[in-house]
Structure 1
Amino acid sequence: MSDLNILSEQTVDMPDAPYQARHFIDGEFAQSADGQKSDRVSPSHGVVVSQAALGSNIETEAAIRSARAAFDDGRWSRLPAKDRAAILNRIADLIEANVERLAVIETLESGKPISQARGECGGAADLWRYAASLARTVHGDSHNALGDDMMGVVLKEPIGVVSIITPWNFPFWILSQKLPFALAAGCTCVVKPSEVTPSTTAMLGEFLQEAGLPAGVCNIVLGYGNPVGSLMTTHEDVDMVTFTGSTAVGKLITKSAGETLKKVALELGGKNPQVIFPDADLEQAADAVTFGIYFNVGQCCNSSSRVIVHEDVADAFVARVVALSRKVVFGNPMNSDTQVGAIVTTDHQAKIDGYVRQAVAAGAEVCLGGHIMSVPGLGTQFYEPTVVRGVTPDMVIAREEVFGPVLTVLTFKTLDEAIALANDSTYGLSAGVWSENIHTCLEFCRRVQAGTVWTNTWMDGFPELTFGGMKQSGQGREIGKYGFEEFLEVKSLVMRIGRKRAPWVRTA
């Protein structure tokens, strides 16, 4: 551990007091009826950084009731799209004006570096602006070749009340992949952030209020999955559930929502391969792999946790990644130079360590790291940058989502073998290919089972390009035109525009 680049100094001031996160229901902020709150202790600094109201069935019922009324009376769903877009753009302006405030609390609650929190929160404004632009593009089809007395019109209408349940790893970004698109479509919403990182979502309530979003259109309920999330996925007044989180919880939501046949959109886990061919630019590939495994401390569904490298260049490539990993700045997330921060909870840290221990027992080799680490003055809720090679496809570490700064390395000989290894997973979220041969890249892209495929890059994203997975990485899509259309229903209108030429029932 002595040769790692560890940074303990702090360049960003701590808040004077814990942030007080409250529910936002029917346009008003409120504590829980029973007064219950939860404390969030920062994984990096070990102090209470926020206190959040803990919701119950009372708050959840009120939020759903408010969203239902707001949708049914048309205060938002029947508002002209240009007016909805104007409010969404005002919210984007308020997000940009409060980036530092959002980033500080997100860093302290999650443990991610503040530079990444700034990028996440500031970049989310672009998602709101893009969603605002889509609000004015809703259109259907007309069919005028059905006969000279018939016309068909296909409309797209908002689906209704949407429950939005978000995770702890990118609380503001993932919320912004869902909420503005639902609002742009004319839906009303009930939002539940993770109880681990509730504060940036609670802060958003302030921006919604200031921007003039009508009361009840978006309601925020803080608390645990049970009872808040459970009621949000089963209540008969909810028309759709969109969830980001683990595959196991996604399956439970699908079952519970099925009782009322709600639409369900899920963005779940990933075990994302990057395939490195021998003609690849190894320096660029190694840099991208290093970024992909340590970004957000590896606690990312798009983490490049599974590298599949050609055996002819495997040694050279692993050596590059190990050398770069030693240069990555680990440490105090409240320092603007830090690139990798703390693990979100001690339980999750133990789970990460367990995967590494299990891999070693199965015969894998740890080339770097593999231990819980400490940062001077901040404690031990960190994990060393870890590279594990000699991994075989049957090992647990090659098949399950570690969700930490742990890279597994497998090798291949042929293109067919590389594609088979890439597809040998229950997940299908994203994949990457590195080669200077366009034919190799295109064949890999066509054959790999993943919702997003990057070629000679990793994790570049744009609001215009939709996101989502195949297989057990989820169903439905987010952002882009396709993500917007997830929140729309299709309705066919069949209209007779002239008198019926002959009656069906003859009276004479």
Structure 2
Amino acid sequence: MVMTVLVRPEALDALKRRDFRMLIGKEWVAAESGKTMERTAPGHGVVVSGIPAGSRADAERAIGAARHAFDHGPWPRMTVSERSLLLLKVADAIAARADELAFLDAVEAGKPISQVKAEIAGAVDIWRYAAALARDLHGESYNTLGDGTLGVVLREAIGVVGIVTPWNFPFLIVSQKLPFALAAGCTTVVKPSELTSGSTLVLGEILLEAGLPEGVVNIVTGTGPEVGAVFATHQQVDMVSFTGSTAVGRITMENAGKTLKKVSLELGGKNPQIVFPDADIDAFIDAAVFGAWFNAGECCNAGSRLILHRSIADEVTARIAELSAKVKVGDPLNPHTQVGAIITPEHLHKVSAYVKGAGEAGAQLAHGGEALELGPGQFMAPTILAGVTPDMAVAREEVFGPVLSVLSFETIDEAIRIANAVDYGLSAGVWSRDFDTCLTVGRKVRAGTVWMNTFMDGAAELPFGGYRQSGLGRELGRHAVEDYTETKTLNMHIGARTSWWMPRQ
């Protein structure tokens, strides 16, 4: 059984196509080729937006604008208080246009509108946090190096940053990168996903209206191979910050190696929740359902693997299935919807193939498993696979859809071994009333975030990123602005300097 929210005809009537242009310098422009791309809403089956189909020529024009703004413009030379005030102004403007931004992400990505409104509120908080960090950016001094030496360590903006963002959290993820780059004094070129460019382009409007100088933020739309790949190889780009799949992250890293530029990568995850018999099972079941079905499982942080103690595995799986049956799937614009649409028909086919393959490998279907006909668009029932073993593809690979794999264990060492037996290490959860157990798991599971008796909580103050093939570097946290800087040492000698070949008398 699955609770569904049908797409109503009147909802389709309310959807109007919106056409956008790219931001290069301070001008809104078409692609040099004149070509455009259309976006069909995954939850409604109608075209809702059109964007320029950018190319290498457009990317290079935008990089040139960012380079000029960094080398000759006022932004890197402003005081941190001036940059901070502008970021605060942007945060207020985002809050004022929150409904517009949420609507764009809901229709372009198929995300539930209530969820997206919370994401926009979270993004506002991040912009304000970045504004605070801007005023805390500082270097170091060393007056302990002897009477004749003073050392000063400066933090300088790294330069031009290429930012590439994914389709699953269009506005939230650009807000995890861009304000920190701006706080450091960098200039930027942003490429949103071609599937979900609308809210980022509206952000461009907000930035210009807030008074951001020309060329500091440029936004080029188009595909990764045509636009995003240019950032990684271009000599005039000093850093690339990429969020997306591990496969594309590898390519980005390889391309960036040609110019040895700095790379920050936030990639995939196959995140476990380890549950012991003494856990608060009621709290865990709610967290398991949230962690698996949030954003239709199209989330790098999804709790897609449950590792349950064998003594409670059957009972807990049944209770998760029971609660999952009450989750409302359907129209992204209905405020009661909890699980929206799958991003594309091709992605729905890929997710369905994982479910079919798991069944063929011996997993049992405990809930869902099927595509849903709810009107236009593509939807999938929340799906639970029991009896999964660590060697199955569905237990090792990132499905990126509403599919939950249930595995079991006997000992704490076995649980940790199963948790670490994948290529990823983004996040994990552990559930036990014994904090010794929680800390033991937390220290031995190789992941960038380990939640204890909760799941997928977060705050702007806490660093986010992964081990191994989940990426490089961290976003958010008190050092987020520093990630977009270089350090420079000024080693100052005081008084006369003795030549190396003339000994002191």
TM-score tier by shorter-chain length is over 0.9
In the TM superposition, 1:260-409 aligns within 5 A as 260-375=259-374, 377-379=375-377, 381-409=378-406
- For residues 405 and 482 of structure 1, what CA distance do their matches in structure 2 show? 33
Matched, 1:245 2:244: yes
- For residues 139 and 90 of structure 2, what CA distance do their matches in structure 1 show? 28
CA 1:127–1:12: 2 relative to 1, 3 Å: farther
- For residues 51 and 18 of structure 1, what CA distance do their matches in structure 2 show? 7
- For residues 281 and 146 of structure 2, what CA distance do their matches in structure 1 show? 63
Q: Residue 183 of structure 1 aligns with which residue?
A: 182
TM-score (norm 1): 0.97
Name the SS of the counterpart of 1:71 in structure 2: helix
**1:150–1:498 Cα contact (<8 Å) kept:** no
CA positional deviation for 1:410 = 0.2
- For residues 153 and 14 of structure 2, what CA distance do their matches in structure 1 show? 53
- For residues 258 and 14 of structure 1, what CA distance do their matches in structure 2 show? 49
Residues 333-391 of structure 1, C-alpha deviation per residue, up to 9 Å, x if partnerless? 1100000011000110000000010000011100111111111x335x11111000100
Name the SS of the counterpart of 2:384 in structure 1: strand
Residues 205-237 of structure 1, C-alpha deviation per residue, up to 9 Å, x if partnerless? 100000000010010000011221111111100
Structure 1 window deviating more from structure 2 (336-345 vs 483-492): it is 483-492
CA positional deviation for 1:497 = 2.1
Structure 1 window deviating more from structure 2 (14-23 vs 244-253): it is 14-23
- For residues 462 and 69 of structure 1, what CA distance do their matches in structure 2 show? 35
- For residues 372 and 233 of structure 1, what CA distance do their matches in structure 2 show? 38
Q: Residue 102 of structure 2 aligns with which residue?
A: 103
Q: Residue 123 of structure 2 aligns with which residue?
A: 124
Residues 152-180 of structure 1, C-alpha deviation per residue, up to 9 Å, x if partnerless? 11111111100000000001000000000
**1:369–1:385 Cα contact (<8 Å) kept:** yes
**1:38–1:53 Cα contact (<8 Å) kept:** yes
**1:134–1:484 Cα contact (<8 Å) kept:** yes
Name the SS of the counterpart of 2:287 in structure 1: helix
Residues 45-77 of structure 1, C-alpha deviation per residue, up to 9 Å, x if partnerless? 110000001111221111100100111125111
CA positional deviation for 1:485 = 1.7
- For residues 205 and 308 of structure 2, what CA distance do their matches in structure 1 show? 48
Q: Residue 460 of structure 1 aligns with which residue?
A: 457
CA positional deviation for 1:110 = 0.7
CA positional deviation for 1:484 = 2.2
Name the SS of the counterpart of 1:481 in structure 2: coil
Once superposed, which parts of structure 1, at least 4 consecutive aligned residues long, lie more than 4 Å away? 9-16, 505-508
**Matched residues, number:** 503
* AA of the residue aligned to 1:8: L
Residues 96-148 of structure 1, C-alpha deviation per residue, up to 9 Å, x if partnerless? 01111111111111111111111112220111000010001111211111110
Structure 1 window deviating more from structure 2 (165-174 vs 491-500): it is 491-500
* AA of the residue aligned to 2:441: F
TM-score (norm 2): 0.97
- For residues 212 and 143 of structure 1, what CA distance do their matches in structure 2 show? 38
Residues 316-338 of structure 1, C-alpha deviation per residue, up to 9 Å, x if partnerless? 11111001100001111110000
Q: Residue 62 of structure 2 aligns with which residue?
A: 63
**1:476–1:483 Cα contact (<8 Å) kept:** no
- For residues 124 and 15 of structure 1, what CA distance do their matches in structure 2 show? 27
CA positional deviation for 1:504 = 3.3
Structure 1 window deviating more from structure 2 (32-41 vs 397-406): it is 32-41
Q: Which runs of 5+ in 1 are unaligned?
A: none
- For residues 505 and 364 of structure 1, what CA distance do their matches in structure 2 show? 77
- For residues 26 and 299 of structure 1, what CA distance do their matches in structure 2 show? 33
- For residues 450 and 304 of structure 1, what CA distance do their matches in structure 2 show? 13
Name the SS of the counterpart of 2:130 in structure 1: helix
**1:8–1:378 Cα contact (<8 Å) kept:** no
Structure 1 window deviating more from structure 2 (312-321 vs 267-276): it is 312-321
Q: Which runs of 5+ in 2 are unaligned?
A: none
Name the SS of the counterpart of 1:319 in structure 2: helix
Q: Residue 448 of structure 1 aligns with which residue?
A: 445
CA 1:497–1:295: 2 relative to 1, 3 Å: same
**2:270–2:398 Cα contact (<8 Å) kept:** yes
